[in-house]
Amino acid sequence: MATAARIATHGVTGKQLEDFAADVRAGLSKPGQKELPSKYLYDEVGSALFEAICLLPEYGLSRAGARLLKRHAEDVIDRLPAPVAVAELGSGSGTKTRWILEALSRRQPVNYYPIDISRTALSRCWQELGRIDSVSIVGFERAYLDGLLDVASRRNSGERFLVLFLGSTIGNFDRPAGEAFLREVRNVLHPGDALLLATDLEKSVSQLLLAYDDPAGVTAAFNQNLLARINRELDADFDLRFFRHEVRYDEENRRVEMHLRSARRQTAHIAAAGLHVNFAEGETIWTESSHKYRCDEAARMGERAGFRCAAQWVDTEWPFAQSLFSAE
């Protein structure tokens, strides 16, 4: 029998807009390399473009994660004591999460808490997962840790939490910052809770560059949409005709970088941020990093953050890992 599912988003639009303006001001005022936080790539348009990216033949990451969950969801659930509630950081549309929720719902009624800064993503999550039997959904329009703290306050007596951090989003953090983030997640959890962490693994540079700069130009549109979003929401006047999508691989740090390169000398005005930004020809805005890991490295990172690595599954078609960490 299906449990009534619902999305109750929690967020303050005015505060989010203020934070957006502040982050844009700080990032574009940095001396040397200008930057914009990658989380702002995911507005309504950006989220839709990212869903399209996940279908591209060059971008095998999403399909690798889905294969692992399809094959091993039962094994994940079997390792967790009942009852279990599920919280997902950066849920997106929740497509891959279906395998976990269906496996768990065969054992017990499930409370599922998707956490995402995109209201569009939460709505798509409801559309994707809202009809699974015995699953109740309450979404949180929040940053990761704020949302997780809110979810943790709803913990029922005797209930364990399984936190999902899928899609290798941990790779958007620099390695020390990623480990610090996992430590903060651990601080919210109780002994016996668990974290399922996805990490994209090292592979050939040519394969990586093609995945982030597809011939169809979908990733380029996704990247350029960040400037279009600033125009829409912060009353800016970026001319997208003169910014080019650029992808690099940093061998030393083992990361893919996305940039927007200025094709000429130009100035952008961002009214809501009170900012005028000058660009030299060839100057870039760094918009995203995607760090690549080794299997043993991912396990050690979780353990240093206060978890025990209980299991790890690896996709070999597109090297990708999912590690189940237990909060000790």
Instruction: Please classify residue 289 by burial: count the beta carbons closer than 10 Å to its beta carbon, then call 0-12 exposed, 13-18 middle and 19+ buried.
Output: middle
Classified by CATH at the fold level, domain 1-231+293-328 comes out as Rossmann fold (3.40.50)
C-alpha distance from residue 291 to each of 177, 203, 242 (Å): 12, 11, 28
Task: Please state the pTM of the whole predicted model.
Answer: 0.92
How confident is the model over 196-243, as pLDDT tens digits?
999 999 999 999 999 999 999 999 999 999 999 999 999 999 999 999
Residue ranges of the alpha helices (H) in 9-143? 13-28, 44-53, 61-78, 98-105, 119-129
Q: 89 CB contacts (<8 Å, ≥6 apart)? A: 115, 144, 147, 148, 163, 164, 165, 169, 185
Structure tokens at 56: 């591209």
**Range in 8-22, 225-239, 286-300 with the lowest mean pLDDT:** 8-22
Highest-confidence segment of 115-129, 154-168, 248-262: 248-262
